[in-house]
């Protein structure tokens, strides 16, 4: 449970407002992304696989890195950790999409079962490529922490 000791960072805002939290949902037109909308997103503060390093390396939304909120996961939180490609095999899936040839993960259902979903996207993507598998996490670029229940985290520092 090393993830309970870590401080994660969400970029793009200086505060976290629980009243404005949006439940995790999946948009029909983002099948090929296999990534949910809503929730509260975080990553490592800095270092390999972090949102910070991705933005710096790609010169992507660098201006948003000035604003951030640090948070930790509460001990009682129900946490799903997806560390390797095999971890994806038994997750609930949505129906097959003929256009994209994918069967996206049912993130909405997972968000009802878990308070936090941690995804080591760089490792999973590398395993997909190494094994010639379809990239199951097409639009996931960094180590990600998806907060599905805003009560499952506490803010380190300031809170709005």
pLDDT tens for each residue of 47-101: 888 888 888 888 888 887 889 999 999 999 999 999 988 888 788 876 655 555 5
Question: What pLDDT is stored for residue 58 in this prediction?
Answer: 83
- Is residue 116 very low, low, confident or very high in pLDDT (cuts 50, 70, 90)? very high
Tell me, rounded to whole angstroms, the distance of Cα 142 from its chain centroid: 8
The predicted-structure confidence for 98-113, as pLDDT tens digits, reads as follows 555 566 788 899 999 9
- What are the Cα distances from residue 63, in Å, to 3, 111, 144? 28, 30, 20
Q: Looking at the chain, list the stretches that DSSP marks H as alpha helix, in order from N- to C-terminal side.
A: 51-58, 107-113, 121-130
Question: What pLDDT is stored for residue 158 in this prediction?
Answer: 62
pTM of the model: 0.88
Name the phi and psi angles at 35, rounded to 5: -135, 130
Strand pairing category for 79-82 and 116-120: parallel
Q: Could you tell me which residue, 158 or 20, shows the higher pLDDT?
A: 20
């Amino acid at each position: 449970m090393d993830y309970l000791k870590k401080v994660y960072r969400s970029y793009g805002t200086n505060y976290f407002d629980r009243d404005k939290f949006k439940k995790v949902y999946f948009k029909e037109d983002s099948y090929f992304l296999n990534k949910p909308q809503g929730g509260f997103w975080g990553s490592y503060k800095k270092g390999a696989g972090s949102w910070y390093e991705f933005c710096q390396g790609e010169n992507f939304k660098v201006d948003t890195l000035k604003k951030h909120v640090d948070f930790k996961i509460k001990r009682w939180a129900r946490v799903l950790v997806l560390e390797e490609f095999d971890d994806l095999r038994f997750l609930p899936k949505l129906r097959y999409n003929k256009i994209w040839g994918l069967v996206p993960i049912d993130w909405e259902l997972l968000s009802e079962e878990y308070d936090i979903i941690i995804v080591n996207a760089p490792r999973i993507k590398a395993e997909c490529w190494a094994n010639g598998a379809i990239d199951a996490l097409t639009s996931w670029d960094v180590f990600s922490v998806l907060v599905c229940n805003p009560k499952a985290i506490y803010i380190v520092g300031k809170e709005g």
